[in-house]
Structure 1
Amino acid sequence: MKIAGLTVAYWAVIVAALLPMVCAGLAKWGTFAKPRREGGYDNHNPRAWLAKQNDWRARANAAQANSFEALPFFMGAVIIAHQLGTYQTRLDLLAFFYIVLRLVYIMLYVADLATARSIAWTLALLVNIAILFV
């Protein structure tokens, strides 16, 4: 299936590429209106500011890093599957399921549900591997 000339799997790649930015926004959520001297977001030195965060903000930032780390494998798998002429509906479903699992992973990470988060991460990895073999 194509939407605006792209398959659902390619749309999933776009969404996956945006997930790190969603995590970064989540880590910074609610701090823009606060002055820097009171712990508000420091756009002059954002990495140092993020490094000082703890609890859910630190976990959102860690989810951002992991989302960047997972992105190349997912992009490569989708591109390879397209090049191999994979059955499109199956590829689209797996790519969609991957995105759902990554969203669940991010939510579980921020909520500090470590075991469930690791399960979601593993399932997303397995889906990604499955994309290569569809």
Structure 2
Amino acid sequence: MKIAIIVLFCLCAIPYIFAVISHYYRKKQFGQFDNQYPREQAAQLNGVGARAVAAQQNSWEALAVYSAALLAVVASGLDIKYLAEAAIIVLIGRILHGILYLANLDKLRSLTFVIAIAPCFYLFYVVIAVFSVG
């Protein structure tokens, strides 16, 4: 469980890392960060800056799915055999996903999305399967 919680912490940090990256590109593209209308400014970004914003949004979405899967595991009280391995796969997949997003390698990015989301569905499957039997 410890590794799964550490991964949760890391996944919480990833969207903020992309926020810092997009902040850099906002200053580079516009000369300053617009703190009054940050979302409007973000919508005007192009290139790597725009992809950093998209990667940040996707990171929030992935965090929600992993959090829900981990909550299901904790709520079930089950000792999931491959929980640590699943968590590490999610983290590696999410890190690669972000890097590939910034690099604009869309097909590899999509592959890492699937690799990172699959363990979350595995965790849900295990929890649901155990409760279906009982």
The normalised TM-score by structure 1 is 0.82
Unaligned stretches of 5+ residues in structure 1: 2-6
Task: Give the secondary structure class of the aligned counterpart of 2:78.
Answer: coil
Kindly report which structure 2 residues correspond to 1:1-134, keeping only aligned pairs within 5 A, or say none: 7-29=2-24, 38-87=30-79, 90-134=82-126
Unaligned stretches of 5+ residues in structure 2: 127-134
Residues 95, 131 of structure 1: 8 Å contact kept? no
1:21 is matched by which residue type in structure 2?
A: Y
Could you list the runs of 4 or more consecutive aligned residues of structure 1 that deviate by over 6 angstroms after TM superposition? Answer: none
Task: Give the secondary structure class of the aligned counterpart of 1:80.
Answer: helix
Aligned equivalent of 1:4: none
Residues 89, 115 of structure 2: 8 Å contact kept? no
Residues 41-50 or 119-128, more deviating: 41-50
1:20 is matched by which residue type in structure 2?
A: P
CA distance in 2 between partners of 1:54 and 1:8 (Å): 37
% same residue: 29
CA distance in 2 between partners of 1:86 and 1:96 (Å): 19
CA distance in 1 between partners of 2:55 and 2:49 (Å): 10
Residues 65-74 or 107-116, more deviating: 65-74
Aligned positions, number? 126
CA distance in 2 between partners of 1:30 and 1:80 (Å): 38
